[in-house]
Amino acid sequence: MRFSWTCLRLCAFLLVSALPAARANTLTVISVPSGATVEINGLIVGTTPLSYKMPGAYFHKPHASFSTRLEHPIVVRISHEGYASEQVTITEGPYVWRSFLGKTDGNYFLVKTEHFQVNLSPLKSVFTGNPAISSEKTNGATPGSELPVETIAKQSDAAIVRVEGNLLQGTGFFLTDTGVIATNRHVVEGQSNLSVIGHDSRRLPAKVVYTDPDMDLALLKVDGSGFPHLTLAALDSVARGESVVAIGDPGGGMADTITHGIVSGIGPYRDAGSGTWIQTDATINPGNSGGPLLDGQGRVIGITAVSRVRNDSGENVTGMNFALSAQDLIDVLRRFYPAAGVPEGTRQAGSATVNVSSDPAGADIYVDGEFVGNTPSTLHLSAGTHAIKIQSTGKKAWERQMDVLKDSKVTLSATLGPQS
């Protein structure tokens, strides 16, 4: 019997090997309007109308366990200037592959159709309502003016949602009463069958209408109206040392988990991409991503995104959690809501690269009164006005007020003369 099974397997292998190579099928993507950018699982592959070659086995059930199989879902994203993006899962599955012996040999997915069309919606039909943006420059709450944490949580809960897809979950929050939601890009990227679950346990289908290629930011849209929404605070209202609250749905924990801490720092964070970041010791767990970081008045000052558990030396660290500033979100919203401005004179989100050198080298560098390193150094400063001071023992300090523009590259070279 053992010999017979071996022969049978060998015959099956020879039979499949003798078959002609599988032909490629063409996936056709059409959009209205045409000329839209097409991404397949995050990779830009062209513009519409698009013809894209894929293995034929992606469209048909495999014939043998060693046949070519599609082992993951495919998410296509279509985006066009002036229109809301659309994210479409073009596969179905997973299906279980079973050999002729009945043995399970992994899963596979199938592309639903070789041809599909997407009608894109104009931005004005998606970005309705009005986001609430605070114009008050408090520069952190004054002592005694902060609301109790339980009050902040009670006021905010109804506007915070759990974001679920086919792979993972995260958190988001309403920006308008018409269903526009903010979250992290990594929460929704590559996900299909997105939905949000509100405080009242209602599950609403959601679609991605915007993602930022450089910042960990995404906007979702659900149908409906009358949604409670949170107020955003500009960057000038944030101060180190002020109390903050993070609310979200950590995986494996209870819903609407609250953590409390302070603002530890404000500025660029090289490990999280572009934008201005707020460091806090308020705990951010997996699943909290995309939720709001709230100040003492219950305003959103950041979107929680990432925690760091080890430093550059590989040592364990605690209390290093980061949120993308709400100012970056405000800057994005201004593209879709021109009236959603911020007061003149507020700091601009984003960062710039500043290369600093001095003669003699090894001088101390101070930015806005804080020591940041020695020359020569490359600094990543938030956009806006900064006071730069370079000093060395026995030398006259070099001082400048510098306006830093977003995404700019600046070189500073200071010659330190003798003290008078």
Q: Which residue type does 91 have?
A: T
To which residue do tokens 């070279």 refer? 413
Residue 263's nearest CA partner among 245, 289, 247 is 245
To which residue do tokens 């014939």 refer? 63
d(CA 62, CA 86): 30
H-only helix segments in 337-391: none
d(CA 109, CA 58): 7
* Annotated active-site residue in 274, 289, 351, 392: 289
* Annotated active-site residue in 186, 331, 351, 358: 186
Residue 274's nearest CA partner among 408, 131, 372 is 408
Distance, C-alpha 359 to centroid of its chain: 41
Contacts of 73 (CB under 8 A, 6+ apart): 89, 91, 93, 109, 166, 192
- Is residue 216 annotated as a catalytic residue, yes or no? yes
- Is residue 99 annotated as a catalytic residue, yes or no? no
* Annotated active-site residue in 216, 249, 295, 331: 216
Contact 161, 197 (CB under 8 A): yes
Contacts of 256 (CB under 8 A, 6+ apart): 153, 157, 160, 199, 247, 248, 249
Q: Which residue type does 186 have?
A: H
d(CA 389, CA 318): 31
Token couple for 334: 């201004």
- Is residue 359 annotated as a catalytic residue, yes or no? no
Contact 158, 130 (CB under 8 A): no
d(CA 120, CA 88): 12
Contact 372, 381 (CB under 8 A): no
Which active-site residues does the annotation give? Answer: 186, 216, 289
